[in-house]
Amino acid sequence: MFGDRLKLARASAGLSLRELEKRLGNLVTAQALGKYERNEMLPSSAVLIALADALSVPESYLLSSGDLEPENVEFRKLKGASAKEQATLKARVLRHTEKYLEIEDVLAAESTDWKLPANFPYRVSSVAQAEVAAELLRQAWQVGQDPIQKLAEYLEERGIKVLPIDLAGSISGMTAKVQRRSGRSVPVIVINANHPGERQRFTLAHELGHLVIEAIDGVDLEQACNRFAGAFLVAASMLRAEVGPKRHAISPGELRQLKQLFLVSVQCLIYRLKDLDIITSRLYGQLFALIGKLGWRKREPDALPKEETRRFARLCFRALVEDLVSESKAAELLDVTVKKLSSMVELGATA
């Protein structure tokens, strides 16, 4: 309904009713805006145009019935976020997901639906069992033991929507499940656009853990998802093949080489070496002390490139050149001007 769309657009913009009233130049009062959102009254055409302009959304968006209903949103490391900040983030997730599903529907894209493999979600009775879940998922997806080069794009091909957003530095990401009115569930993983690539990759794998594993009572789900993430990013068999079954010492230079091979942080590698009993607890402590002295705990060496999500833009370009959407519609979906869209399509410029 109109009120739901208006509330979602306002939350996405991070505005209170009073703030929206001011942005509208006091064209209508906050009380009237509240009535619009409660579907107690509808705005005039002039107010509708002003609302769309103030909230940077097309009028058609506010008038649309929409296809999504919030199912649940699970925040990770968002305890310090205000209710307003959380509402803004939820609204942005829903808006992005809706646009993504719209262009997939236009193209009848094959990977619209998210489907869990057989035997998933995997129920773990200990943190260590998350290792098994990661191995089984790799087998089900037939990705072998090698690191997945472009993890965000790979997950999107699997039906998971990935959304990089500017977040506070302490916030890594979140998992959201959004339900379509048809009943189909759409998973969304939000990652911090400001984080380096290695941290983004771990966040993606951790949040994937939230989608594919369940923990029995007494098992720390966050720890289980951390173990899952490490195992999914760094396959045990490949790590043992590279470093050996047991190590009594390992140099910073070797850790840097392994980082480039496995595409994870040095810290993640040390955790994996300890999880797999390749190194002792004593060496584990020594290595963390060493990378602390080198400053690698605050700033990783050889930073990995940030994860990119280009599938949505590719779908918009495809729909545009096949005349399935207009230039204005494609620009609306990508949140760019028509002029910028032309540059993106013809010259390969980024949004």
Tell me what the pLDDT averaged over the chain comes to. Answer: 88
Least confident interval from 48-62, 82-96, 219-233: 82-96
In DSSP terms, 179 is beta-bridged to 69, 185
Which among 152, 99, 117, 101 is positioned nearest to 305, based on CA atoms?
152
Q: What is the DSSP code (8-state) at residue 27?
A: S
**Residue 83 CA, distance from chain mean position:** 20
pLDDT band for position 32 (50/70/90)? very high
Identify residue 158 by its one-letter amino acid code.
Answer: R
C-alpha pair distances (Å), 350 with each of 46, 203, 309, 341: 34, 24, 11, 9
pLDDT band for position 71 (50/70/90)? very low
Least confident interval from 107-111, 162-166, 254-258, 264-268: 107-111
Query: Would you say 186 and 97 are in contact if contact means Cβ atoms under 8 Å apart?
Result: yes
pTM above 0.75, yes or no: yes
